[in-house]
Chains A and B, each alone.
Chain A
Amino acid sequence: MKAAEFAYARALSVADAVALLAAAAGEAKLIAGGQTLVPLMAMRLARPALLVDIDGIAELNGIAMVGDTLRIGAGTRQAEIERSGLVGREVRLLALAIGHVGHGQIRNRGTIGGSIAHGDPAAELPLVAVTLGATLLTETSAGAGEISARDFYLGPMTTTLPADALITRIDLPIWRGRVGAGFHEMSPRRGDFALAAAAAQVELDGRGRCRRAVIGVGGAAPTPIACADAARLLEGRTLDDTLIAAAASAAAALTEPASDSHGSAEYRRRLTAVLVARALKDAATMARAVP
Protein backbone atom coordinates (compact mmCIF):
# COMPACT_ATOMS: atom_id res chain seq x y z
CA MET A 1 0.00 0.00 0.00
CA LYS A 2 1.48 3.29 -1.06
CA ALA A 3 -1.47 5.62 -1.49
CA ALA A 4 -2.70 7.74 1.41
CA GLU A 5 -6.01 6.93 3.07
CA PHE A 6 -9.15 7.67 1.11
CA ALA A 7 -12.84 6.87 1.26
CA TYR A 8 -14.30 5.13 -1.76
CA ALA A 9 -17.73 5.39 -3.34
CA ARG A 10 -18.98 3.77 -6.50
CA ALA A 11 -21.30 6.04 -8.49
CA LEU A 12 -24.11 4.23 -10.27
CA SER A 13 -25.10 7.08 -12.58
CA VAL A 14 -23.89 10.49 -13.75
CA ALA A 15 -26.40 12.13 -11.37
CA ASP A 16 -24.99 10.05 -8.53
CA ALA A 17 -21.41 11.00 -9.45
CA VAL A 18 -22.05 14.75 -9.59
CA ALA A 19 -23.98 14.62 -6.31
CA LEU A 20 -21.01 12.91 -4.64
CA LEU A 21 -18.62 15.50 -6.13
CA ALA A 22 -20.79 18.39 -4.95
CA ALA A 23 -21.05 16.97 -1.43
CA ALA A 24 -17.26 16.50 -1.21
CA ALA A 25 -16.63 20.23 -1.80
CA GLY A 26 -13.43 19.84 -3.81
CA GLU A 27 -11.94 17.00 -1.74
CA ALA A 28 -12.96 14.24 -4.16
CA LYS A 29 -11.41 12.89 -7.35
CA LEU A 30 -13.13 10.88 -10.03
CA ILE A 31 -11.58 7.55 -10.95
CA ALA A 32 -12.48 5.68 -14.13
CA GLY A 33 -9.53 3.73 -15.52
CA GLY A 34 -7.13 5.19 -12.96
CA GLN A 35 -4.10 4.74 -15.21
CA THR A 36 -2.77 8.20 -14.36
CA LEU A 37 -4.45 8.84 -11.04
CA VAL A 38 -3.28 5.67 -9.30
CA PRO A 39 0.44 6.35 -10.00
CA LEU A 40 -0.04 9.92 -8.77
CA MET A 41 -1.63 8.55 -5.61
CA ALA A 42 1.15 5.96 -5.23
CA MET A 43 3.67 8.82 -5.30
CA ARG A 44 1.36 10.88 -3.06
CA LEU A 45 1.28 13.68 -5.58
CA ALA A 46 -2.49 13.26 -5.31
CA ARG A 47 -4.21 12.65 -1.96
CA PRO A 48 -7.96 12.83 -2.52
CA ALA A 49 -10.11 12.32 0.58
CA LEU A 50 -12.73 10.56 -1.53
CA LEU A 51 -12.49 8.55 -4.73
CA VAL A 52 -15.70 8.50 -6.77
CA ASP A 53 -15.57 5.47 -9.06
CA ILE A 54 -17.39 6.13 -12.34
CA ASP A 55 -16.20 2.92 -13.99
CA GLY A 56 -19.03 1.01 -15.58
CA ILE A 57 -21.64 3.81 -15.65
CA ALA A 58 -23.47 2.72 -18.80
CA GLU A 59 -24.46 6.23 -19.93
CA LEU A 60 -20.76 7.21 -20.09
CA ASN A 61 -19.88 4.44 -22.53
CA GLY A 62 -20.23 4.11 -26.24
CA ILE A 63 -19.31 5.46 -29.65
CA ALA A 64 -22.00 6.75 -32.01
CA MET A 65 -22.17 8.80 -35.20
CA VAL A 66 -24.85 11.50 -35.24
CA GLY A 67 -24.79 13.60 -38.42
CA ASP A 68 -21.31 15.04 -38.83
CA THR A 69 -20.29 14.33 -35.25
CA LEU A 70 -18.73 11.31 -33.62
CA ARG A 71 -19.93 11.11 -30.01
CA ILE A 72 -17.70 9.21 -27.64
CA GLY A 73 -18.77 8.62 -24.06
CA ALA A 74 -16.12 9.89 -21.66
CA GLY A 75 -15.89 6.51 -19.95
CA THR A 76 -15.16 4.65 -23.19
CA ARG A 77 -11.98 2.62 -22.92
CA GLN A 78 -9.06 3.56 -25.12
CA ALA A 79 -8.88 -0.10 -26.24
CA GLU A 80 -12.47 0.10 -27.45
CA ILE A 81 -11.68 3.23 -29.47
CA GLU A 82 -8.66 1.43 -30.92
CA ARG A 83 -10.84 -1.47 -32.10
CA SER A 84 -13.75 0.68 -33.29
CA GLY A 85 -14.48 0.44 -37.01
CA LEU A 86 -16.51 3.65 -36.74
CA VAL A 87 -13.52 5.59 -35.38
CA GLY A 88 -11.26 4.05 -38.03
CA ARG A 89 -13.59 5.16 -40.84
CA GLU A 90 -14.80 8.52 -39.60
CA VAL A 91 -12.07 10.09 -37.45
CA ARG A 92 -8.84 8.71 -38.82
CA LEU A 93 -6.71 11.12 -36.79
CA LEU A 94 -8.00 9.60 -33.56
CA ALA A 95 -7.49 6.09 -34.93
CA LEU A 96 -3.86 6.94 -35.79
CA ALA A 97 -3.16 8.52 -32.39
CA ILE A 98 -4.80 6.02 -30.06
CA GLY A 99 -2.16 3.29 -30.49
CA HIS A 100 0.44 5.68 -29.11
CA VAL A 101 -1.35 5.95 -25.74
CA GLY A 102 0.68 3.97 -23.19
CA HIS A 103 0.65 0.23 -23.86
CA GLY A 104 -2.15 -2.21 -24.62
CA GLN A 105 -2.56 -3.02 -20.93
CA ILE A 106 -2.95 0.69 -20.14
CA ARG A 107 -5.47 1.16 -22.94
CA ASN A 108 -7.55 -1.74 -21.60
CA ARG A 109 -8.28 0.38 -18.51
CA GLY A 110 -7.67 4.00 -19.53
CA THR A 111 -10.58 6.09 -20.78
CA ILE A 112 -10.75 8.95 -23.29
CA GLY A 113 -12.41 11.27 -20.77
CA GLY A 114 -9.80 10.55 -18.12
CA SER A 115 -6.92 11.36 -20.45
CA ILE A 116 -8.56 14.56 -21.68
CA ALA A 117 -9.47 15.69 -18.15
CA HIS A 118 -5.98 14.98 -16.80
CA GLY A 119 -4.46 17.22 -19.46
CA ASP A 120 -0.86 16.09 -19.72
CA PRO A 121 0.62 18.45 -22.34
CA ALA A 122 2.35 15.51 -24.08
CA ALA A 123 -0.65 13.17 -24.09
CA GLU A 124 -2.16 12.11 -27.39
CA LEU A 125 -5.89 12.39 -26.72
CA PRO A 126 -5.85 16.02 -25.53
CA LEU A 127 -3.80 16.80 -28.65
CA VAL A 128 -6.36 15.17 -30.95
CA ALA A 129 -9.21 16.96 -29.15
CA VAL A 130 -7.51 20.36 -29.49
CA THR A 131 -6.43 19.76 -33.11
CA LEU A 132 -9.92 18.81 -34.26
CA GLY A 133 -11.69 21.33 -32.04
CA ALA A 134 -13.67 18.73 -30.10
CA THR A 135 -16.53 19.78 -27.84
CA LEU A 136 -16.43 18.47 -24.27
CA LEU A 137 -19.81 17.95 -22.64
CA THR A 138 -19.84 18.35 -18.89
CA GLU A 139 -22.23 17.83 -16.02
CA THR A 140 -22.38 19.28 -12.52
CA SER A 141 -25.10 19.09 -9.90
CA ALA A 142 -26.23 22.46 -11.26
CA GLY A 143 -26.72 21.14 -14.79
CA ALA A 144 -25.10 20.39 -18.12
CA GLY A 145 -22.48 22.47 -19.92
CA GLU A 146 -20.06 22.30 -22.79
CA ILE A 147 -16.67 23.70 -23.64
CA SER A 148 -14.43 23.64 -26.67
CA ALA A 149 -11.30 21.55 -26.17
CA ARG A 150 -9.36 24.54 -27.55
CA ASP A 151 -10.45 26.62 -24.52
CA PHE A 152 -10.04 23.81 -22.00
CA TYR A 153 -6.32 23.73 -21.19
CA LEU A 154 -4.68 26.40 -19.03
CA GLY A 155 -1.32 24.75 -18.35
CA PRO A 156 0.22 21.36 -17.58
CA MET A 157 -2.46 19.20 -15.91
CA THR A 158 -4.53 22.36 -15.42
CA THR A 159 -7.91 22.80 -17.07
CA THR A 160 -11.01 24.92 -16.76
CA LEU A 161 -13.01 21.91 -15.52
CA PRO A 162 -14.54 22.83 -12.15
CA ALA A 163 -13.82 20.47 -9.23
CA ASP A 164 -17.48 19.45 -9.08
CA ALA A 165 -17.78 18.69 -12.81
CA LEU A 166 -17.62 15.50 -14.81
CA ILE A 167 -16.88 15.21 -18.53
CA THR A 168 -19.64 13.04 -19.94
CA ARG A 169 -18.97 13.01 -23.67
CA ILE A 170 -16.47 14.09 -26.30
CA ASP A 171 -17.93 15.24 -29.61
CA LEU A 172 -15.50 15.08 -32.53
CA PRO A 173 -16.30 16.69 -35.88
CA ILE A 174 -16.37 14.29 -38.84
CA TRP A 175 -14.88 15.66 -42.05
CA ARG A 176 -16.34 14.27 -45.28
CA GLY A 177 -14.80 14.13 -48.73
CA ARG A 178 -11.14 13.81 -49.72
CA VAL A 179 -9.85 13.82 -46.17
CA GLY A 180 -6.57 12.52 -44.80
CA ALA A 181 -4.87 12.55 -41.41
CA GLY A 182 -1.38 12.10 -40.04
CA PHE A 183 0.00 11.62 -36.52
CA HIS A 184 3.66 11.39 -35.52
CA GLU A 185 5.44 11.48 -32.20
CA MET A 186 8.91 10.83 -30.85
CA SER A 187 9.43 9.23 -27.47
CA PRO A 188 12.55 7.71 -25.89
CA ARG A 189 10.83 4.32 -25.56
CA ARG A 190 7.66 2.85 -27.02
CA GLY A 191 4.70 3.85 -24.86
CA ASP A 192 6.42 6.74 -23.08
CA PHE A 193 5.10 10.26 -23.23
CA ALA A 194 6.24 12.07 -26.34
CA LEU A 195 9.12 14.55 -26.45
CA ALA A 196 6.98 16.14 -29.13
CA ALA A 197 3.95 15.05 -31.11
CA ALA A 198 2.20 16.39 -34.20
CA ALA A 199 -1.29 15.87 -35.57
CA ALA A 200 -2.67 17.05 -38.91
CA GLN A 201 -5.81 16.66 -40.93
CA VAL A 202 -6.49 18.02 -44.42
CA GLU A 203 -9.31 18.07 -46.93
CA LEU A 204 -8.52 18.42 -50.64
CA ASP A 205 -10.79 19.79 -53.35
CA GLY A 206 -11.44 18.11 -56.69
CA ARG A 207 -8.24 19.55 -58.14
CA GLY A 208 -6.08 18.36 -55.28
CA ARG A 209 -5.71 21.74 -53.56
CA CYS A 210 -6.14 22.06 -49.83
CA ARG A 211 -9.68 23.12 -48.93
CA ARG A 212 -9.11 23.15 -45.17
CA ALA A 213 -6.50 21.92 -42.71
CA VAL A 214 -5.82 21.67 -39.00
CA ILE A 215 -2.44 21.21 -37.33
CA GLY A 216 -1.81 20.48 -33.64
CA VAL A 217 1.35 20.10 -31.60
CA GLY A 218 1.79 18.35 -28.25
CA GLY A 219 4.61 18.07 -25.73
CA ALA A 220 6.24 21.30 -26.84
CA ALA A 221 4.30 23.86 -24.82
CA PRO A 222 2.47 23.95 -21.45
CA THR A 223 -0.66 22.71 -23.25
CA PRO A 224 -1.40 21.05 -26.57
CA ILE A 225 -1.71 23.79 -29.18
CA ALA A 226 -3.78 24.23 -32.33
CA CYS A 227 -1.63 25.94 -34.96
CA ALA A 228 -4.35 27.83 -36.83
CA ASP A 229 -2.07 30.29 -38.63
CA ALA A 230 0.20 27.50 -39.85
CA ALA A 231 -2.81 25.57 -41.12
CA ARG A 232 -4.14 28.65 -42.94
CA LEU A 233 -0.95 28.80 -45.04
CA LEU A 234 -2.11 25.59 -46.70
CA GLU A 235 -5.60 26.65 -47.74
CA GLY A 236 -6.25 26.91 -51.48
CA ARG A 237 -2.82 25.59 -52.34
CA THR A 238 -1.23 22.34 -53.47
CA LEU A 239 0.46 20.49 -50.61
CA ASP A 240 3.98 20.18 -51.99
CA ASP A 241 7.16 19.76 -49.95
CA THR A 242 7.99 23.48 -49.94
CA LEU A 243 4.57 24.47 -48.62
CA ILE A 244 4.56 21.68 -46.04
CA ALA A 245 8.00 22.78 -44.81
CA ALA A 246 6.77 26.37 -44.45
CA ALA A 247 3.71 25.28 -42.46
CA ALA A 248 5.85 23.01 -40.28
CA SER A 249 8.22 25.90 -39.49
CA ALA A 250 5.28 28.15 -38.68
CA ALA A 251 3.85 25.52 -36.32
CA ALA A 252 7.20 24.95 -34.61
CA ALA A 253 7.59 28.71 -34.07
CA LEU A 254 4.51 28.61 -31.82
CA THR A 255 6.06 26.12 -29.41
CA GLU A 256 7.55 26.98 -26.02
CA PRO A 257 9.38 23.74 -25.28
CA ALA A 258 11.23 23.13 -22.02
CA SER A 259 14.75 21.76 -21.74
CA ASP A 260 15.17 18.64 -19.63
CA SER A 261 17.28 15.49 -19.46
CA HIS A 262 15.50 14.10 -22.53
CA GLY A 263 16.30 16.98 -24.83
CA SER A 264 16.95 20.70 -25.13
CA ALA A 265 14.30 23.23 -26.04
CA GLU A 266 16.00 23.82 -29.38
CA TYR A 267 16.01 20.08 -30.14
CA ARG A 268 12.31 19.82 -29.35
CA ARG A 269 11.48 22.79 -31.55
CA ARG A 270 13.34 21.27 -34.50
CA LEU A 271 11.78 17.89 -33.76
CA THR A 272 8.34 19.52 -33.82
CA ALA A 273 8.93 20.88 -37.32
CA VAL A 274 10.02 17.45 -38.56
CA LEU A 275 7.01 15.72 -37.00
CA VAL A 276 4.51 18.28 -38.33
CA ALA A 277 5.96 17.86 -41.83
CA ARG A 278 5.63 14.07 -41.58
CA ALA A 279 2.06 14.32 -40.30
CA LEU A 280 1.10 16.70 -43.12
CA LYS A 281 2.72 14.48 -45.77
CA ASP A 282 0.81 11.46 -44.46
CA ALA A 283 -2.41 13.45 -44.39
CA ALA A 284 -1.92 14.68 -47.97
CA THR A 285 -1.07 11.18 -49.21
CA MET A 286 -4.12 9.70 -47.51
CA ALA A 287 -6.42 12.41 -48.87
CA ARG A 288 -5.11 12.03 -52.43
CA ALA A 289 -5.94 8.31 -52.28
CA VAL A 290 -9.62 9.13 -51.72
CA PRO A 291 -11.41 9.12 -55.10
Chain B
Amino acid sequence: MNRQAVRLTVNGKPWHGEVPTRLTLVDCLREEVGLTGTHVGCEHGVCGACSVLLDGEPVRSCLMFAVQADGRAITTVEGLAAPDGALSPLQDAFWECHALQCGYCTPGMLIAAHALIARNPAPSDGDIREALAGNLCRCTGYQQIVDAVRLARRRMGEVPP
Protein backbone atom coordinates (compact mmCIF):
# COMPACT_ATOMS: atom_id res chain seq x y z
CA MET B 1 0.00 0.00 0.00
CA ASN B 2 1.23 3.51 -0.83
CA ARG B 3 1.78 5.45 2.38
CA GLN B 4 3.32 8.81 3.01
CA ALA B 5 4.32 10.98 5.97
CA VAL B 6 2.06 13.96 6.62
CA ARG B 7 2.52 16.93 8.94
CA LEU B 8 -0.43 19.12 9.79
CA THR B 9 -1.27 21.83 12.26
CA VAL B 10 -4.77 21.04 13.50
CA ASN B 11 -6.51 23.66 15.61
CA GLY B 12 -3.13 25.13 16.44
CA LYS B 13 -1.51 21.85 17.48
CA PRO B 14 1.08 20.01 15.39
CA TRP B 15 0.22 16.49 14.22
CA HIS B 16 2.20 14.05 12.15
CA GLY B 17 1.66 10.53 10.96
CA GLU B 18 2.09 8.17 8.08
CA VAL B 19 -1.12 7.67 6.11
CA PRO B 20 -2.25 5.89 2.95
CA THR B 21 -2.00 8.30 -0.01
CA ARG B 22 -5.65 7.63 -0.85
CA LEU B 23 -6.86 8.68 2.63
CA THR B 24 -9.02 11.80 2.33
CA LEU B 25 -8.36 14.70 4.66
CA VAL B 26 -11.71 14.20 6.40
CA ASP B 27 -10.95 10.53 7.09
CA CYS B 28 -7.49 11.53 8.33
CA LEU B 29 -8.96 14.10 10.73
CA ARG B 30 -11.55 11.67 12.08
CA GLU B 31 -9.64 8.39 12.15
CA GLU B 32 -5.99 9.38 12.53
CA VAL B 33 -6.10 12.73 14.35
CA GLY B 34 -9.12 11.58 16.36
CA LEU B 35 -11.32 14.64 15.84
CA THR B 36 -14.78 13.38 14.89
CA GLY B 37 -16.53 16.75 14.88
CA THR B 38 -16.07 17.06 11.11
CA HIS B 39 -18.75 14.94 9.47
CA VAL B 40 -18.52 12.73 6.40
CA GLY B 41 -21.55 13.20 4.18
CA CYS B 42 -21.57 12.60 0.45
CA GLU B 43 -17.81 12.05 0.03
CA HIS B 44 -17.82 13.70 -3.38
CA GLY B 45 -18.06 17.39 -2.71
CA VAL B 46 -21.78 18.05 -2.86
CA CYS B 47 -23.04 18.38 0.72
CA GLY B 48 -20.46 20.49 2.59
CA ALA B 49 -20.74 18.54 5.88
CA CYS B 50 -16.97 17.96 5.89
CA SER B 51 -16.02 21.65 5.56
CA VAL B 52 -12.86 22.72 7.39
CA LEU B 53 -10.63 25.77 7.19
CA LEU B 54 -7.41 25.19 5.23
CA ASP B 55 -5.02 28.04 6.08
CA GLY B 56 -8.13 30.02 7.03
CA GLU B 57 -10.18 29.35 3.87
CA PRO B 58 -13.22 27.04 3.92
CA VAL B 59 -12.76 23.92 1.80
CA ARG B 60 -14.33 20.49 1.53
CA SER B 61 -12.09 18.00 3.32
CA CYS B 62 -13.52 15.06 1.31
CA LEU B 63 -12.17 16.64 -1.88
CA MET B 64 -8.59 16.56 -0.71
CA PHE B 65 -6.23 13.77 0.09
CA ALA B 66 -4.44 14.17 3.41
CA VAL B 67 -1.07 14.09 1.59
CA GLN B 68 -2.06 17.24 -0.30
CA ALA B 69 -2.51 19.06 3.01
CA ASP B 70 1.04 18.31 4.16
CA GLY B 71 2.47 21.39 5.87
CA ARG B 72 -0.86 23.22 6.02
CA ALA B 73 -2.94 24.50 8.96
CA ILE B 74 -6.42 23.05 9.46
CA THR B 75 -9.20 24.37 11.68
CA THR B 76 -12.05 21.98 12.41
CA VAL B 77 -15.30 22.67 14.24
CA GLU B 78 -13.50 21.67 17.46
CA GLY B 79 -11.26 24.69 16.94
CA LEU B 80 -14.07 27.25 16.96
CA ALA B 81 -14.88 27.19 20.68
CA ALA B 82 -12.66 28.82 23.31
CA PRO B 83 -10.00 26.58 24.92
CA ASP B 84 -12.19 26.28 28.03
CA GLY B 85 -15.03 24.96 25.88
CA ALA B 86 -17.11 28.15 25.92
CA LEU B 87 -19.07 28.42 22.68
CA SER B 88 -18.11 31.08 20.15
CA PRO B 89 -20.72 33.82 19.53
CA LEU B 90 -21.62 32.03 16.30
CA GLN B 91 -22.07 28.65 18.00
CA ASP B 92 -24.08 30.33 20.73
CA ALA B 93 -26.34 31.91 18.11
CA PHE B 94 -26.91 28.51 16.46
CA TRP B 95 -28.02 27.13 19.83
CA GLU B 96 -30.25 30.10 20.56
CA CYS B 97 -31.91 30.22 17.12
CA HIS B 98 -32.45 26.46 16.95
CA ALA B 99 -30.32 26.37 13.81
CA LEU B 100 -29.94 22.61 13.94
CA GLN B 101 -32.15 19.59 14.22
CA CYS B 102 -30.26 16.36 13.55
CA GLY B 103 -26.95 18.23 13.64
CA TYR B 104 -25.30 16.38 10.79
CA CYS B 105 -24.66 19.47 8.65
CA THR B 106 -23.87 21.71 11.64
CA PRO B 107 -20.04 21.44 11.67
CA GLY B 108 -19.93 22.41 8.00
CA MET B 109 -22.46 25.20 8.47
CA LEU B 110 -20.44 26.61 11.39
CA ILE B 111 -17.20 26.51 9.41
CA ALA B 112 -18.81 28.18 6.38
CA ALA B 113 -20.44 30.88 8.51
CA HIS B 114 -17.30 31.40 10.59
CA ALA B 115 -15.26 31.93 7.41
CA LEU B 116 -17.85 34.36 6.08
CA ILE B 117 -17.79 36.55 9.19
CA ALA B 118 -13.99 36.42 9.34
CA ARG B 119 -13.75 37.73 5.77
CA ASN B 120 -16.74 40.06 5.83
CA PRO B 121 -17.75 41.33 9.29
CA ALA B 122 -20.97 42.91 7.99
CA PRO B 123 -22.45 40.40 5.56
CA SER B 124 -25.83 41.13 4.00
CA ASP B 125 -28.55 38.47 4.06
CA GLY B 126 -27.62 37.75 0.46
CA ASP B 127 -23.97 37.28 1.43
CA ILE B 128 -25.04 34.87 4.18
CA ARG B 129 -27.15 32.76 1.82
CA GLU B 130 -24.39 32.78 -0.79
CA ALA B 131 -21.80 31.64 1.77
CA LEU B 132 -24.04 28.79 2.95
CA ALA B 133 -25.19 27.78 -0.55
CA GLY B 134 -22.65 24.98 -0.71
CA ASN B 135 -23.85 23.34 2.51
CA LEU B 136 -26.92 21.13 2.45
CA CYS B 137 -29.33 20.80 5.40
CA ARG B 138 -32.21 18.36 5.16
CA CYS B 139 -33.94 19.37 8.43
CA THR B 140 -34.21 23.06 9.13
CA GLY B 141 -35.23 24.59 5.83
CA TYR B 142 -32.22 26.90 6.33
CA GLN B 143 -34.21 29.83 7.76
CA GLN B 144 -33.02 29.40 11.35
CA ILE B 145 -29.45 28.92 10.16
CA VAL B 146 -29.58 32.26 8.35
CA ASP B 147 -31.20 33.77 11.47
CA ALA B 148 -28.35 32.43 13.61
CA VAL B 149 -25.65 33.91 11.40
CA ARG B 150 -27.52 37.20 11.37
CA LEU B 151 -27.74 37.16 15.18
CA ALA B 152 -24.04 36.34 15.52
CA ARG B 153 -23.17 39.14 13.12
CA ARG B 154 -25.21 41.58 15.22
CA ARG B 155 -23.77 40.41 18.52
CA MET B 156 -20.24 40.63 17.20
CA GLY B 157 -20.91 44.35 17.11
CA GLU B 158 -20.42 45.21 13.47
CA VAL B 159 -24.00 45.89 12.45
CA PRO B 160 -26.63 47.68 14.54
CA PRO B 161 -29.90 45.73 14.96
Contacts and interface: CB of A to CB of B under 8 A. Distances in A.
A100 to B, nearest CB: 12
A243 interface: no
A3 B22 contact: yes
Given A5-B2, A34-B63, A104-B58, A190 B21 contact: no
B59 A8 contact: no
**For B51, B59, B70, B131, which residue has the most chain A Cβ atoms within 10 angstroms?**
B59
A228 B140 CA distance: 48
Contact of A43 (B44, B57, B130): B44
- Classify chain A: how many residues form its interface, as a range: 20 to 34
Contacts of A109: 54, 59-60, 63-64
Interface of B: 1-2, 4, 20-24, 27, 43-45, 48, 51, 54, 57-60, 62-65, 67-68, 70, 112, 130-131, 133-134
A8 B2 contact: yes
Contact of A102 (B1, B27, B134): B134
Contact of A35 (B1, B4, B45): B45
Given A35-B45, A105-B48, A6 B22 contact: yes
A127 interface: no
A104 B130 contact: yes
Contacts of A34: 63-65, 68
A98 B62 CA distance: 23
A42 to B, nearest CB: 5
A285 B1 CA distance: 59
B21 A51 contact: yes
A144 interface: no
B112 A7 contact: no
21 contacts: A1-B22, A1-B23, A3-B22, A3-B65, A4-B22, A7-B2, A8-B67, A34-B68, A35-B63, A38-B24, A38-B62, A38-B64, A42-B44, A53-B67, A105-B59, A105-B112, A106-B45, A106-B134, A108-B59, A109-B54, A109-B63
